[in-house]
A and B are shown apart, each in its own frame.
Chain A
Amino acid sequence: MSEKQLILVVDDDPDLVESVSMKLESEDFRVAKAYDGIEAMDRIKEERPALVILDVMMPRKNGYELCDELKASDQYKDIAIVLLTAVADAVTSTSYTHMDGKTTMADDFIPKPIELDKLMEMVKENLE
């Protein structure tokens, strides 16, 4: 029997974390949870996830900062990252340019409010 893959869900909205986690568990994934970028990094160090579902706007360390940190790390750059963004209209690809000119590279992104079925499809595609 293959081991269930671990997905890390990161958002400062506990209801969003819980609803996405329940859906992932119903699809036979294991789930770790974090509520900002600092906690997320702690969870990643504890156990490397196969994929991170990552909100953008969070306290302490936001999603862009964590995404940049992971993609710049030899140890973690292969972890797939799906960004959750409430400003999807401003995001035309997985390369997102900030107001300060920096660019974040994620593997995929999905606009809020989230369609859970679409998110599950995206998770599975990015794990293939």
Chain B
Amino acid sequence: MSDTLRADGIKLSLEMTLIFIRSSSSELDLNARFLKLMGENRINLPFLCNAARDGSKSGTYCIFSEDTPRAKRFIAGDETLAACLDDLPSVGSISVFPHNFNLAFLGHMLRLLGQSGAPLYGLATSISALTMITDFSRLEETAAHLARHVSLPGNHSPFNPDIRIKSM
């Protein structure tokens, strides 16, 4: 297989905090409680991935670092939720698009991420983008490694965001 796959672009996120929530079936749905809390307080979730298995549910979420102190204050008000939640500061996402529902593309990206030595904390796909969560401090070098092995259009859009839309 060729070492180069075609992509239209790569986008990097701002610095974020990763939040893991695990809840068993005997408990209230803590993931739903977390989502309600964030929604009521207008805290954006740029990354969200839920899983359910054998009656237990887990959720992986990202919130922007600048929202983290506020989010933690709200979470602290729900002792049950706070007890089932772990967080990891200073992560970021790399989104490569489009993936065109191509499993070879997914495998290629994971292999490149592995080669770069960057950890993988979360992975999700949307309609267009394959998004990987890693350390924020390694975002630029990891994106540069991916870009060396992916064929991007000439004059492609910049990797870093310079426009951010926030729900008020």
Assess the B8–A14 pair: CB atoms within 8 A.
yes
Q: Is the interface of B mostly helix, strand, loop or mixed?
A: loop
Tell me the nearest residue of chain B to A33, going by C-beta.
B8
B155 / chain A contacts, CB cutoff of 8 Å:
38-39, 42
B128 cross-chain contacts in A, Cβ below 8 A: 14-15, 17-19
Residues of A close to B162: CB separation below 8 A: 59
**Docked CA distance A113–B156 (Å):** 25
B residues within 8 A CB of A34? Answer: 157
Q: A57-B163, A58-B163, A59-B161 are in contact. Are A14 and B9 (CB under 8 A)?
A: yes
User: In the complex, A60 Cα to B9 Cα: how many Å?
Assistant: 15
Q: Which residues of B contact A12 (CB under 8 A)?
A: 157, 163
- Does residue A35 face the partner (Cβ distance < 8 Å to B)? yes
Chain A residues near B161 (CB-CB < 8 A): 59
The residues in B between 24 and 49 inclusive whose CB is less than 8 angstroms from any CB of A are none
Q: Is the CB of B127 within 8 A of A19?
A: yes
Q: Are the C-beta atoms of B127 and A18 separated by less than 8 Å? A: yes
Q: Is B11 part of the binding interface, using a Cβ–Cβ cutoff of 8 Å?
A: yes
Contact flag A35-B157 (CB < 8 Å), given A14-B129, A18-B97, A18-B128: yes
- For the A-B complex, the count of residue pairs with Cβ-Cβ distances under 8 Å equals 51
Please name all residues of chain A whose beta carbon is closer than 8 Å to the beta carbon of B55 when the two chains form the complex.
Answer: none
The answer to whether residues A18 and B98 also contact, given A33-B8, A59-B163 and a CB cut-off of 8 A, is: yes
Cβ contacts under 8 Å, A42 to chain B? 153-155
Once A14-B8, A14-B11, A15-B129 are accepted as A-B contacts, the answer to whether A36 and B157 lie under 8 Å apart by CB is yes
A6 contacts partner chain B, Cβ-Cβ < 8 Å: no
How close is B142's CB to chain A, nearest CB, in angstroms? Answer: 18
| A86 interface contact, C-beta 8 A | yes
1/0 contact string of B106-139 vs chain A (CB within 8 Å): 0000000000000000000011110000000000
- Nearest Cβ distance between residue A112 and chain B, in whole angstroms? 10
Contacts of A18 in B (CB 8 A): 97-98, 127-128
Query: Told that A39-B153, A58-B163 touch, could you supply 7 new A-B pairs with CB distance under 8 A?
Result: A12-B157, A14-B126, A18-B97, A18-B98, A35-B9, A38-B157, A39-B155
Q: Which 3 A-B pairs have the closest CB atoms?
A: A18-B128, A14-B97, A14-B128
* 17 residue pairs bridging A and B, Cβ less than 8 Å apart: A14-B9, A14-B129, A15-B128, A19-B128, A22-B127, A34-B157, A35-B9, A35-B157, A36-B157, A36-B158, A38-B157, A39-B156, A42-B153, A57-B165, A59-B162, A59-B163, A86-B165
Interface residues of B (CB under 8 A from A): 8-9, 11, 95, 97-98, 126-129, 153-158, 161-163, 165
Instruction: Give the B-binding residues of A (Cβ under 8 A).
Output: 12, 14-15, 17-19, 22, 33-36, 38-39, 42, 57-60, 86
